[in-house]
Structure 1
């Protein structure tokens, strides 16, 4: 059923697969977009109308209650200024109520038009009765004002609040209905999304099966055929009839198979030529292993290996000449190495004697250096102890200064407390005066002012008690200030004593510093001398070791030259023209022992280990 896909190229297959997936994703995106817009519209309508409407209705109830409070307050007004203020507050509250009503009507809730009109009529009636109450109170008709307050004023206020609460209930029911509709739409959108997801999974599985059938499995078979051909086996290449990339790969693999077979035949011919070459080389190399350097290659090589034959024969001739020259030179080197070995042994014995003397001198100076270092370290620790004592004294002085400053701050705070107590005295005095005035006014009022007279007596008693407590606080504060002054003087005396101790410790510190500096200078000088002698000792020891190594190397050289001559004699090089006879043996090695008349010369002060190495 899907055989037509074998003629489609891979880009076309991928384009078809991604187009199907893209269309599926488009449907899913459209569904999400539509659901999101619907829910956003519901939420926006709820926010702009529901929440705003509830807020305006709540403001209306608050304004109605405030109007009720204002009319009662106006009934009890006591001055013209207060009357003007209540009139202004009444107008402001009425305007706020009308403004909240206009804002609610502007929301456009057509389903509540009847209830809104009823609420508007009741608000108008409430404002009218409030104005009538204000008019009666302004004219001085107190009984009529009270009757109107408890009659129509109360009825219309309650009616307005009742109608507002009715609107709030209806808006809540409307919000619940909108929420239910939104939940239903959200459930449908979720089910539709799940269905689209299932369809998408099925489509993706189908696309995967299509790619597996037309691409993956053919590539697997071609991979198996390629592995077989790479391992040298034979296999037929499938899918050569296809028109897509799989067919092109199969065609290229078939060409590779044919080329591999042709190359195998060429390798067989080359192997036959290589057998001839390797056989000749094996025979010549076997003769070289046995020490015969006269076996050159005489077999005819193929033209491709002719240069190899020429180079091998030339290298064999050069090796014969080299072995002959080595045999001649080995005899001459043997004599010279014996002489060098004898001289090196004499020099090694003299160098070891000098190294022992320098080592003893270095050990003595090292002991002097250690004792001076110990003395300098003890002086340094003494200086550190003096530094610690000075730090402790300085810390004590700083603590004493902080204590003086803290007591000064306490003294200033006490002055501030004194001013506060003085203020309390003034307040108590004014309170007593106020109580006396209240008692006088209560006396004028007669029986109606008895309660005020009792309160005035209590306030007067409280004022007298406040004056007594303020007096006691001032006395305690004066005693505290005296104690603080005494403590400040004591701390200042302690600070003076610490200052004298600090000066004495500073002088001791100066003397100890000078002693430590002198000890350190002496230790530094001895250290430099010890380092110089140590360097000389190390250089002498190195020289002794090098002379011994040179002597050993000369002896090894002699033995190695003897072994080299023996091995060179094992090779058979035939009659080589131009060879010379071995040189005659030299005389016995000359001894390098110093004569009795010679005396050792002093070393130069600038001689270093590098000079001995050059030697």
Structure 2
């Protein structure tokens, strides 16, 4: 809890803020605090000025109302003492108080607690009127406030707005009222305070100009001081960085300053000189250590040179024997302890080399024997491979002839299949044509039936026309001479109707005959279609058989082609095997010669033991 309170304290907060800000920012912060303090002081002075002005006006108003109240008390004493009547005393008091003036038009008024205006020197129209409804533009019912203050406190102040004499616009006003209980009066007077606002704003602008000038001056001063401090500290910082990097010839600036930066520069100068002295001492120590180290290295180098000379002599003698192919000459002389491993490794290497050469000699003998066997086998394999290649060539030629025959058969089968397919297509098209012909004949038969029906209608119309013409002739005969012409027309119409009926009968007979012939044609076409369908099915069977035959021939051709290809590949492989057999035979002969040469070379080495490599090689 204590730690939390300590962390939240203003001092700790300010310390943290200062740690996170630069010198320039701190200077600006200090100046800003001073400016803020000046602003607060000016604000307080302005507020206090306005309060003092108001208090001064209140004190003046209190003295003025006291004077008016003393007049009322004096007249009241006159009325009570009998020097005058109470009514005349009131009138005298009203006259005297109403005639009082002060400053520029200051006056007094009197109202009661109702409130009604008892006396007003400039608003006679209000006297005797209830003025509780009068209010200023801000809604303050001023006479109600006067009566309320007088009733509750006996005296007091009221702020409101009221027009000045001979003016219509209201102005801010401060009034003081005091009650005179004997007569129930409220005596008041007031002063306009708009002049106080002018005084206040004048003081406000004066303080604002002063504070603005102070802000500008402090800002410029803080910028100059902050920049100077930042520049000086930056120069010292670069000097410290150079010293930290080992640059001891750097010039420390600010040694002649008399402030804290000068003290920092002097401390850096001391650090620089101390570092230079320390560097010189370290350099001298390094030189001394280097000289001692060089002497020690020279002594060790001489000792090593002597040892190397001895070792080189001993090893050179052994290597000379090894160069002369003598594997029995080992390192037996005494060498320094540092070369014991070299001596042991050299002798072990000679032993391993001798053993390896022995194994190589035995292996060369085995290789020679194997090479001879490989040579005989390769010669036999070469002969057999040549015979196999000749047989494969004959087989390939026979297969090529068979493949050509099968290919021709497949081509003929393909042509037959194409012909059958074409015949099948023609038959199918003929079936379609026959079907279309059948449909057309059916349409003709249907049309003939429709024509027969139409002819029946025409015959019926001719019959009705004939009846009408007959009736018309009868009616014309009845008409006598007047209907003669109409009778002639009726006779002609009857003749035309009869001819139409005869023509319709002839057409009907022809259509009947045509329908019979169309029916026979439909039957023939139907039979033709059935025959074509049977032909089409047979052609399809033939096409399938020919297709199967062509497919089988094609498969045979493909199989023969694959066999021929495989035989050709086998022939190529056989040829390659023959070439490889020849190469193997040549390599076997070369291996035999190489093994003989290797045996001769190994036999030149001298080794410890009852038998040398040379004797082994010769025995083999």
Same fold by TM-score, threshold 0.5 exceeded?
A: no
Using the size of structure 2 for normalisation, the TM-score is: 0.33
Computing the radius of gyration over CA atoms, which structure comes out larger, 1 or 2?
Answer: 2
TM-score scaled by structure 1?
Answer: 0.33
The structure whose residues are more often helix, as a share, is: 1
Greater fraction of residues in strand:
2
